[in-house]
């Protein structure tokens, strides 16, 4: 039985949706962000960064959202959530998963939490503005990369589609949400209505983006 340390609407959305796609048994351990539970020593033994999420699999502990998603899809190949090892599609899968975590997600963190980098309000505003521009450039790269493919990595649904959909939900606060890109909109539109994604949102007590464009 897996154990997922989570908080609503955080990066725990992706691994939980992956667990739901797989149909694996898991226990949810909720962290109270307002009470800074993720910064307490007990949790930091699992995740020394004090960030959410963390997955525990028996006596194995893994953090970093993209790594957890990949680990789970590798542990459950029958769920077909990653292209075959060594294939070009697998290479594409790594490309987008890495881009989403080390470029897009990092820019989101600067946008949501400029105070984590600067104490000064002017510097915070400058960082937030720069992060927003970075996000728009990255959204364009993703939208162009998806092109006419059905899913992010090609014709197979993978954890990248789940990751993209988590990021898209965060982008609802931006002046130009991620789904202004028509290819992103198509993939996110097909992913957020999947039963697994819906179950994840229901279990986290969160709703889909209120400003999602209605058809």
Which residues contribute to the site for ligand GSH (CB under 6 A)? 10-11, 33, 38, 51-52, 63-65, 101, 105, 109
Of 109, 67, 107, 81, nearest in space to 24 by CA = 81
CB count within 10 Å of CB 37 equals 17
Report the residue number, 37 or 132, with the smaller CB distance to ligand GSH: 37
Write down the least CB distance from residue 159 to ligand GSH, Å: 13
CB of 87 to ligand GSH, least distance (A): 25
The residues, ordered by sequence, that sit 6+ positions from 164 with a Cβ below 8 Å of its Cβ are 96, 100, 142, 152, 178, 184, 187, 188, 191
Closer Cβ to ligand GSH, 44 or 76, answer by number: 44
Three-state SS at 61: strand
Smaller CB separation from ligand GSH, 63 or 96: 63
Given the complex with ligand GSH, which of 105 and 156 has the nearer CB atom? 105
């Amino acid at each position: 039985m897996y154990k997922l340390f989570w908080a609503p609407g955080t990066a725990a959305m992706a691994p939980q949706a992956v667990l739901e796609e797989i149909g694996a048994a898991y226990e949810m351990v909720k962290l109270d962000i307002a009470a800074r539970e993720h910064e307490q020593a007990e949790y930091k033994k699992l995740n020394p960064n004090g960030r959410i999420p963390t997955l525990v699999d028996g006596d194995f502990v893994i953090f970093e959202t993209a790594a957890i998603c990949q680990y789970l899809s590798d542990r459950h190949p029958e769920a077909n959530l990653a292209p075959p090892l060594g294939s070009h599609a697998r290479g594409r899968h790594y490309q987008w998963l890495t881009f989403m975590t080390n470029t897009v997600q990092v820019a989101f963190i600067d946008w949501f939490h400029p105070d984590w980098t600067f104490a000064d309000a002017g510097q915070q505003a400058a960082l937030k503005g720069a992060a927003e521009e970075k996000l728009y450039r990255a959204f364009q790269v993703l939208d162009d990369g998806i092109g006419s493919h059905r899913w992010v990595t090609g014709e197979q649904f993978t954890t990248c589609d789940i990751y993209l959909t988590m990021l898209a939900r965060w982008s609802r606060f931006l002046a130009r949400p991620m789904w202004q890109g028509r290819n992103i909109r198509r993939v996110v539109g097909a992913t957020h209505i999947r039963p697994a994604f819906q179950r994840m949102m229901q279990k986290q007590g969160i709703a889909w983006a209120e400003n999602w464009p209605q058809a």
